[in-house]
């Protein structure tokens, strides 16, 4: 049963990745400046959120003495 779940999960992930890539390429062809701006802002906000989460996790582990 586990092998079936893994196979389905892999196929689903592959399909989602293809769908995302196709949508991004399509939007990039229609309006490249807007798409690049939105992708850049999304990446910047994602990096900032990851950095903040990493700092808060590091601070929490230092303050608890772990």
- The predicted model scores a pTM of 0.51
Q: What is the dihedral of CA 14, 38, 40, 53, to 10 degrees?
A: -80
Classify the C-alpha dihedral 53-58-62-64 as positive or negative.
positive
Q: If pLDDT is split at 50, 70 and 90, which confidence band does 62 have? A: low
pLDDT above 90 (res 56)? no
Q: Which two tokens stand for residue 14?
A: 């592959």
Is the pLDDT at 63 greater than 80? The verdict is no
Q: For 2-33, how does the pLDDT look when each residue is reduced to its tens digit (9 = 90+)?
A: 889 999 999 999 999 999 999 988 988 888 89
Distance CA 1, CA 38 (A): 41
Residue 28 makes CB contacts below 8 A (sequence gap 6+) with 35, 36
What does the block give as tokens for 19?
């769908």
């Amino acid at each position: 049963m586990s092998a079936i779940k893994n196979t389905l999960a892999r196929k689903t992930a592959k399909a989602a990745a293809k769908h995302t890539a196709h949508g991004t390429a399509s939007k990039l062809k229609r309006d490249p400046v807007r798409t690049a701006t939105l992708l850049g802002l999304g990446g910047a906000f994602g990096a900032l959120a990851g950095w903040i989460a990493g700092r808060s996790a590091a601070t929490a582990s230092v303050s608890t003495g772990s």
